[in-house]
Homo-oligomer: A and B are copies of this chain.
Amino acid sequence: MSTILNLAKRRRTIRSFRHDEIDISDVYYALRVAREAPSGANKQPWRFIIVRDQSLKKRIREYCEEVEKEFHSRAPEWLRDWFREMGITWRKPFLENAPILLLVFSDGTAPYNVQSTWLAIGYILLALEERGLATVTYTPSKVRWFNELFKIDKRYVLQTILPIGRAACDICSKQPRLPLDNLILGVY
């Protein structure tokens, strides 16, 4: 059985989405998967906000693009080169065009909350892929604004925004991966 490997290999990071509606039950499916992840002291520090509202998505896009402009202006040279190569700019149309944004927060008071939440994000990516949905883990470099926008306790820290939808490309390229040998520092 190699279902996980097939899903992991098939999955691509997608930054351009078709406008088609998606079935929200598929997003809830991914959350039911995330809920099963292990966490530090079983604190289950992951929290979610689902955004379908078009005007709210637009506000989020506008805020993130402001933050991105500033981030791109001070990014290190190697990262700017990578952005250029990938065609990544400060523009984030996917925040407005993806049918659903899934915002993932972690409870900053829980032990290993960042680690646990990102482990659960790994679960979410595979669950979305299984349901034929595409996404990208997009994290703006400033996140406090989201607590004000949604009026949520400051203990919750935005970890990532997952724009979710169907990939706009027919054949989307996958970034190359390092050979396994390069990843293994030793076998004893």
Q: Could you tell me which A residues sit within 8 Å of B by CB distance?
A: 1-5, 7-9, 11, 13, 28-29, 31-38, 41-42, 44, 46-53, 56, 79, 82, 105, 111-112, 114-116, 118-123, 125-127, 130-131, 136-137, 139, 150, 152, 156, 159-160, 175-178, 180, 183-188
Contact = CB atoms under 8 A, between A and B. Distances in A.
Residue of A36, A131, A156, A180 contacting most chain B CB atoms (<10 Å): A36
B38 A125 contact: yes
A111 B41 CA distance: 27
A126 to B, nearest CB: 5
Contacts of A8: 33, 36-37, 123, 127
Nearest to A48: B184
Contacts of A28: 180
A130 B3 contact: yes
Given A29-B5, A115-B118, A50 B130 contact: no
B185 A36 contact: no
Given A50-B188, A115-B159, A177 B44 contact: yes
Contact of A49 (B5, B152, B185): B185
Given A50-B188, A114-B114, A119-B118, A183 B4 contact: no
Contacts of A188: 49-53, 56
